Amino acid sequence: MSALPHLTDCGLQGVKAVPYGIHMCHFYEQREDLAAALVPYFVAGLRNEERCVWITAEPLDARAAKAELARAGLNVEALERKGSLIIRDASDWFAAIDRLDGAKARIMDLWLDEERRALDAGYNGLRVTGNTAFVNPADWAAFMEYEEYAEEAFASQRIIALCSYLLDRRAGADVLDVVRRHSCTLDRPDADGWQVLGYDRYGLSHRLAAVVGQAFRHSDLPTLLSSR
């Protein structure tokens, strides 16, 4: 699979590789769940020479995120100085966006500008994550529109995105709202590793076939995404 240039290592145990342009989500309940997903995700991104941008929110703010990465053996300060790693709190990153409603194009411009700068600087791509805990319930519909927009806009870019959502087990429609607006969902059913769910919901295999070309076989996708 390494011969396929449009794929990159996801970093999560159980998920072999993912295509650039993928817009994934996962649900967490506690701070530990967030760290368990995002630390290996960024370790892989840095190893793959991608610029990594982590937009944080409670319960794992920028300071705590840096501490988690340092615990994994990364020299966070040096990586930040070099520009490989950017860790910012959501309130800071989105400071220019006063209202989510109607701002999806402006938010997307932030990401696309960042991708362009990363590619210009010689990185292989942009790896991002955002914890959506900062989204006010009143802004839910507007934020879902932004996610819908991101799903389309990222598809043709050298960006891989993983959005973190706090799981409300009593809000099934919210879960559906989220998974319907992402290429797939990463789930960690047990300590053995991760699995990719819902990847065939909206034609991820067809999109992947379009970027990878003839080397891709639709039947390969389940094997590619998961080794569980």
Binding interface with another protein (CB under 8 A): 27, 140-142, 144-145, 148, 151-152, 167, 169-177, 179-181, 185, 187, 189, 197-198, 200-203
Whether the CA torsion 83, 2, 7, 67 is positive or negative: it is negative
Q: Which two tokens stand for residue 189?
A: 């059913």
Q: Which is nearer to another protein, 114 or 145 (CB)?
A: 145
The residue among 72 and 171 lying less far from another protein, judged by its C-beta, is 171
The distance of closest approach from Cβ of residue 199 to another protein in the complex, given in angstroms and rounded to an integer, is: 9
SS3 category, 211? helix
Q: Write out the H or E segment, with its range, that includes residue 104.
A: helix 104-120
Instruction: Using the minimum distance from each CB to another protein, give the nearer residue, 59 or 202.
Output: 202
DSSP SS3 for 69: helix
Least gap, CB of 192 to another protein (angstroms): 14
Q: Which is nearer to another protein, 35 or 184 (CB)?
A: 184
Length of the chain: 228
Decide whether 68 or 147 has the Cβ nearer to another protein: 147
- Min dist CB 30 to another protein, Å, is 14
Q: What is the largest distance, in Å, between two alpha-carbon atoms of the chain?
A: 46
3-state helix, strand and coil shares in percent for the chain, rounded to the nearest 5: 45, 20, 35
Min separation Cβ 173 and another protein, Å: 4
CB of 11 to another protein, least distance (A): 20
Residue partners of 167: CB distance under 8 A and separation at least 6: 27, 28, 29, 175
